[in-house]
Amino acid sequence: MAARKPKVIVTRKLPDSVEVRMRELFDTELNETDEPMSRKALIDAVGRCDVLASTITDRIDAGLIAKAGEKLKLIANFGAGVDHIDVPVANAAGIIVTNTPGVLTEDTADLTMTLMMATLRRVVEGANMVQAGEFTGWAPTAMLGRRITGKRLGIIGMGRIGTAVARRAKAFGLQIHYHNRKPVSPRVSEELEATYWDSLDQMLARMDIISVHSPHTPATFHLLSGRRLKLLQPHAIVINTARGGIIDEPALADLLASGAIAGVGLDVFELEPRINPKLLKLPNAVLLPHMGSATVEARVDMGEKVIINIKTWMDGHKPPDRVLPQML
């Protein structure tokens, strides 16, 4: 790598401290407006930068990668998920892709528990009632929700975040069940007193709460299909802080509206930022604006990982958070 500073184009606004540091280290071009880049702007960016510091709002597909100039050698993604990047095509073109794993775990797990409790206890419904001036006083049967302690939690995807959720959930007195490509280590299984289900269908039919933590890949698209959602018991709730496309959102909305399931807590949506209109009308749908990792600490940590990946590459070494096609 030449001694010159690499040209880095950042596609969205990042925390001030991160942007200041990037400007010190690199020839950095920032997105001052924080508006998602248009396709035309992305084509222009990949045609003239050494590093694209991308985010989830950028669709970096084969067509865009084909427009990349000879300079582009690194896509340093600000975020753990890379389903918006065609990693195999980038890899074949000699472009390294990195992400920011690990730093989102605790915050996303916290929000998962928040959604779980808010959905079971009808917190948003209650808050809306008070704000609308409809609270007329306590009553024995008013705003009845469900107790969290003792419930069976079925976790789909027992990676970093799924395991962090399980640890929190166990402290709340939930029974931990999970479906994963393979069982967790005996040590973790014993710590969490977790039950492994090889069959997702069988687990779904027996749980009180389902929490989704799988990566979004072609194999997990609509993993919770309409057929599988119908396996849930009427009192069950579904929580999703992973990716919207893992759940068949129209089927989920239909089942919720019909009373076939009791509630949902969603931080992500299949056609984000668009949301199924049925979900928006249902009082038992707790809907958040993709804020699972939205803490000051997480965003700064993510930015620091992006910087480390770029700096390591710039110094001629392998970035620590490289994403390879076989990892997907």
Query: What residues act catalytically?
Result: 243, 272, 290
Residue 162 in tokens: 């799924």
Minimal CA–CA distance to 175: which of 199, 148, 201? 148
Q: Which residue has the tokens 């402290």?
A: 171
Are the C-beta atoms of residues 273 and 287 closer than 8 Å to each other? no
Query: CA 122 → CA 94, 146, 284, distances in Å?
Result: 50, 9, 7
Q: Which residue has the tokens 């069940």?
A: 177
Taking phi over 0 as left and psi of -120 to 50 as alpha, with beta for the rest, 290 belongs to left
How far apart CA 115 and CA 287 sit, in angstroms, is 9
Are the C-beta atoms of residues 107 and 127 closer than 8 Å to each other? no
Are the C-beta atoms of residues 30 and 13 closer than 8 Å to each other? yes
How far apart CA 234 and CA 208 sit, in angstroms, is 9
Taking phi over 0 as left and psi of -120 to 50 as alpha, with beta for the rest, 258 belongs to alpha
Q: What residues contact residue 112 under an 8 Å CB cut-off, 6+ apart?
A: 161, 165, 168, 211, 213, 239, 241, 292
